[in-house]
Amino acid sequence: MHALRLHACHDCDLLLREVALPPGGNARCPRCGAVLYRRRHNGLDRTLAYSMSAAVLFVIANAFPIVGLEAAGHASSTTLFGAVRTLWDEDMHSVAGLVFTTTILMPALEIAALLYLLLPLKLGRVPAGLAPVFRTVQAVRPWGMVEVFMLGTLVALTKLAALASVVPGVALWSFAVLMFLMAAAAASFDTQELWQWVEERR
Amino acid sequence: MTAITAARAGFMACHACGLVHRADAHAHGIVCARCGAALHLRKPNSVTRTWALLIAAYVLIIPANILPVMVSGSLFGSESDTIMSGVVFLWRDGSAPLAIILFFASIAVPFSKLFALTYLLLSVKKGSTLAPRRRTQLYRILEFVGRWSMIDIYVASLLTALVQFGGLMSIQAGPGAIAFGAVVVITMFAAESFDPRLIWDPIEERHG
């Protein structure tokens, strides 16, 4: 079954023979135009590097306040988790859950799962539970919304600038960098290369 | 171009890792040999599931737009903001580019997503063979843009967390935020449950 080297388009089901791509190349479906697979130069090495940096920034982004506010002698600031807790305390449980899931839980799961897969493979071992962890990466990805959160923060700050003086926190910059790292990790994660690594190490 | 689909040739691809398997006509509950994901020729009950989620989203988008997403209280009384009035506020006092982004993310995207999915479902039901490539592109766009609607939820959350100056001034997330968050999540699930390969199946049959 593994020798087939066939590929079915995920959007229109067209059956195609898999072709070898040069690094940096994309294979597109001739019928519907979907990107089928891509080849990246040292794809997985990059994913590993991005994921490790993302893990560090994720911790910083969650440990420090995103933004501080000063108005009429009062000051306030909040971390991301602090915002979730305020919502929870105000009985907005579903909104609190949604924010927590999309900005903390899912990104954390994605980073952790990528590291769990790639670190051992890089060191020459196949991690236990490879298959379910791989599926977790695929399932979790659409629900991590760090980049959307960044834009939301920008809008919130613009609204606040009219009311009070706004002090951007360390976490704000960390989130901005985290956004690019997570996008880069996702873009360089070459699943074909992953299975190649796995086969070589079995 | 001689187009043959995997399903027609007796194959099916794993949705998670892409490995192509031989499809047995009566097999149920088989999983991918490589990554263990459940294998299906097409997403199970795709049309019914998408309709169900879509109808729920149509219902919820009404309170999402009528109820306040934010309630701000100050010494001078309280004020409620719906999604639309938040956009208007940003346009007048803040920055126009952000207001335009917010308008697209919170109003244009959710509504056009509902209409686009309805159109796709109807076209699949009719067995339409019209512009399948265009319809697939439409599907890819709505799959991609849905997440950006979350902006308003994050804005309301941050303002709620930050603006807590007792009686002087405070902001609370309003019930509209619950409905709006539900719309975003439900339409994301709806887009995910729709199977774009259904767009292409009638074309296949006509040529075969």
| CB distance B204 to B5 below 8 Å | yes
What pLDDT shows up at residue B25?
61
The amino acid at residue B83 is: I
B44-207: CATH topology: Butyryl-CoA Dehydrogenase, subunit A; domain 3 (1.20.140)
Q: What is the pLDDT of residue B184?
A: 95
User: Chain A residue with minimal CA distance to B158?
Assistant: A83
Quick check: B156 contacting A, CB < 8 Å? yes
A95:B156 CB<8 A = yes
**B72 pairs with which residues across the strands?**
B79, B171
What's residue A4's pLDDT? Answer: 54
Q: Which value, to the nearest 10 degrees, does the dihedral of the CA atoms of residues B180, B184, B185, B187 take?
A: 130
Structure tokens at B73: 């209280």
With beta carbons less than 8 A apart as the criterion, state whether B152 and B86 touch. yes
User: Nearest residue of B to residue A87 by CA position?
Assistant: B157
Test the A interface: residue of B14, B155, B157 with most A CBs within 10 Å: B157
Q: What is the pLDDT along chain B (208 residues), one digit of tens a residue?
A: 467 889 888 899 999 988 898 887 666 778 898 999 999 889 999 999 999 999 999 999 999 999 999 998 877 788 898 999 989 988 887 688 889 998 999 999 999 999 999 999 999 999 888 999 999 999 999 999 989 999 999 999 999 998 887 777 888 899 999 999 999 999 999 999 999 999 999 887 666 4
Q: What is the pLDDT of residue A1?
A: 42
B168 touches chain A (CB under 8 A): yes
* Encoded tokens for A86: 């305020």
- Cα separation, A147 vs B154, in Å, equals 11
Kindly report the CA angle at B171 between B168 and B175, in degrees rounded to 5?
145
Task: Give the SS3 label for residue A46.
Answer: helix
Q: What chain A residue is nearest to B134 in terms of C-alpha separation?
A: A32
3-state helix, strand, coil in chain A (%, to 5): 60, 15, 25
The structural domains of chain B, with segments of one domain joined by +, span 1-41, 44-207
Of A71, A92, A156, the CB nearest to B159: A156
pLDDT score, position A2? 45
Interface contact B132-A153, CB threshold 8 A: no
- Residue B27: the pLDDT is 64
The predicted pLDDT at position B190 comes to 96
- Complex ipTM value: 0.90
pTM, rounded to two decimals: 0.90
Query: B169-173 and B77-81: which strand pairing?
Result: unpaired
Q: Which residue, chain included where needed, has tokens 């988008």?
A: B61
CB atoms within 10 A of CB B137: 16
Of B98, B166, B181, the CB nearest to A95: B181
CB distance B179 to B53 below 8 Å? no
Strand order in the sheet with B70-74: B77-81, B70-74, B169-173, B164-165
Q: Please list the ranges in chain A whose pLDDT falls under 70.
A: 1-4
Chain A interface includes B3 (CB < 8 A): yes
Q: What's the rounded Cα separation, in Å, for the pair A155 and B98?
A: 7
Kindly report, residue by residue over B89-138, the tens digit of the pLDDT: 888 876 888 899 989 999 999 999 999 999 999 999 998 889 999 999 99
